[in-house]
Structure 1
Amino acid sequence: MNTTDDTLTYVYAAAPLTKDLRDAAAGLRGIYGSPVLLLTAGPTAAQPPLAFAASHVPHRDFNEHALKNHFEDLDWLENVARAHHDVVQTLSLHTTVLPLRMATVYQDDDRARQALAEQHDALSERLAQLIGHTEFGVKIYLAAAPPDTGPAADAGAATTPGKAYLQRRRAQHSAQEAAYDQARRAAAAIETTASRYAAQRVRHPTQSGALTGPAENVLNDAYLVAHAYAEQFQAAIAEAAGVLDGIRVEVTGPWAPYSFAMPPAERQNTATGEEERTP
């Protein structure tokens, strides 16, 4: 089945075309409730061949101009991101998947198949490295700094309001430096512990604002961990975090390996062709 002029082909992930993938995709719904289809690139020497998990989406909402506008609409963005994630995560529970970026869109099924054929060897190589692995997130947070309570706050031996202010600022600066030093030591300890079980690590930008609340996110890492070590990884991180003061360590997962979908040298540039749009 190909798309019409009113629809585009939205691709969620690549995966080996196995019975497990077919079973996982059967009855699965994606964005706007559209059925999830498995697109292949035709006969190939690879066994099993690869497939794109895809859906047909309205052209009016996923053309290049519409996407630019929609990416300013947080409600729309959240709904699409959730649907994308649900498809990828569901498939990952049954087989190894290579997640693609949200809003990876092709003009039609034939263009998607062509892209799959052109990228077949690279995708196969990357999938081979992900087999039997899952992703965990590890974040470190500092507690919110205490507020400045005004001129009377911890003035000490200061004899003037100006001196009291300077003392408070020095004390706050010292406390902040101590907190960041603790965070650096915590990050080193967590990284050393995680490296005993993880095959790869990706360091993401730290988060801020509503995502973290009053705490400050000072580390945001992703680890690729073999299924056999998943429980040991989580237990070791929890044990290491238990002896660290002044910080909070958060472990999330297991997830589909979003952070490891491309080799390290390619993670900064995942464009795959002019027909694909990945804002």
Structure 2
Amino acid sequence: MIGLRYVYAVCRPFDLPLQSQLVGIGGAPPALLHHHGLVAVVSTVPEADFSEEALKAHLEDLDWLSATARAHQGVIDALTTVTTPLPLRLATVFRDDSGIRTMIEAREDDFRGVLDRLAGRVEWGVKVFLEPEPAESAAPAPAAAKPASGRDYLRRRRESSHAHEEKWQRAEAFAQSLHERLCRHAEDCRLHAPQNSALSAAPGQNVLNGAYLVPRGRSEEFVELVDRTKDEAPGIRVELTGPWAAYSFTGEER
């Protein structure tokens, strides 16, 4: 089987061992390629799956993409426990180790600068959702509750729309306030596009999708701050994820 070299991340040399049972894409264990004082974390993947043409086809295969992303993330998560990795974008592949060394030499100044900035820091994600309205009862409404006329029906629709708009405005104001507070407790922050509710399994409408760069030593304080906000606004849900490698602050495509 012809193989390509897959690169998960670049980091500085580290002493702690990776998990002994750690595997990456396709079940291959990751290895460390040292070059110019940096380390590329790599494994061998089949060219049949990772050539340019094969990847174009796999972009239509959500199951394959999901499994590949999980394996990629698993290696990054393991690295985060022993060092500060600079994760590379999904499906970064080279023909051989020589190509990886050339890439490191071309980008080593950038790599070192980003690794210095991210050292000892992790990313936390915070999302704010406007909770969905309670499901309407399946039982038929009493006759008295039915609109008396078309005009009455339109009035009710306007009132319902107005009430939803007010809730949305309150959620946006809460999200903006929360983001500003969290940014003051983080070294850097990013706002990502809200999640598409049609594609996300999370209930409700995503109002805030933020990422926050926090020193490891202040992570507990940051988590406590988020936890204190979770009951501030009825009908609004706050979700915290992390700690992650600092994907949002590397300059790499996710």
**Taking structure 2 as the reference length, what is the TM-score of the superposition?**
0.90
The aligned counterpart of 1:273 is none
1:191 to 1:198, Cα distance in 2 relative to 1, 3 A: same
The aligned counterpart of 1:53 is 41
Contact 2:22 2:30 in 1 (8 A): yes
Contact 2:14 2:82 in 1 (8 A): no
CA distance in 2, matches of 1:136, 1:239: 16
Matched, 1:103 2:97: no
Counterpart residue identity of residue 178, structure 1: E
The aligned counterpart of 2:233 is 244
CA distance in 2, matches of 1:97, 1:24: 13
Larger deviation, residues 190-199 vs 130-139: 190-199
1:213 to 1:227, Cα distance in 2 relative to 1, 3 A: closer
1:166 to 1:70, Cα distance in 2 relative to 1, 3 A: same
The aligned counterpart of 2:168 is 180
Q: Secondary structure at the match of 1:19?
A: coil
The aligned counterpart of 1:36 is 30
Note the C-alpha offset of 1:233: 0.6
The aligned counterpart of 2:249 is 260
Match of 1:140 among 118, 128, 132: 128
Q: Secondary structure at the match of 1:248?
A: strand
1:152 to 1:17, Cα distance in 2 relative to 1, 3 A: same
Larger deviation, residues 232-241 vs 93-102: 232-241
Match of 1:78 among 55, 66, 71: 66
1:166-222 Cα deviation digits (max 9, x unpaired): 112211211221111111121122113212321111111211225244411111111
Note the C-alpha offset of 1:115: 0.3
Task: Kindly report which structure 2 residues correspond to 1:88-99, keeping only aligned pairs within 5 A, or say none.
Answer: 88-99=76-87
Note the C-alpha offset of 1:18: 2.5
Matched, 1:13 2:9: yes
The aligned counterpart of 2:184 is 196
Counterpart residue identity of residue 205, structure 2: E
Contact 1:138 1:250 in 2 (8 A): yes
Moved over 3 A (4+): 25-28, 145-149, 151-159
Contact 1:89 1:256 in 2 (8 A): yes
Matched, 1:216 2:205: yes
Counterpart residue identity of residue 16, structure 1: R
**Taking structure 1 as the reference length, what is the TM-score of the superposition?**
0.82
Note the C-alpha offset of 1:29: 2.0
CA distance in 1, matches of 2:207, 2:91: 29
The aligned counterpart of 1:87 is 75
Contact 1:155 1:168 in 2 (8 A): no
Note the C-alpha offset of 1:39: 1.7
Matched, 1:163 2:151: yes
CA distance in 2, matches of 1:154, 1:57: 66
CA distance in 2, matches of 1:136, 1:74: 26
Q: Secondary structure at the match of 2:18?
A: helix
The aligned counterpart of 1:119 is 107
1:27 to 1:113, Cα distance in 2 relative to 1, 3 A: farther
Contact 2:188 2:212 in 1 (8 A): yes
Q: Secondary structure at the match of 2:84?
A: coil
CA distance in 1, matches of 2:77, 2:213: 15
Q: How many residues align?
A: 252
- Segments of structure 2 that go 5 or more residues without pairing to the other structure are none
Note the C-alpha offset of 1:154: 11
CA distance in 1, matches of 2:99, 2:181: 44
Q: Secondary structure at the match of 1:219?
A: strand
**Matched residues, percent identical?**
39
Larger deviation, residues 111-120 vs 214-223: 214-223
Contact 2:179 2:210 in 1 (8 A): no
Note the C-alpha offset of 1:147: 6.2
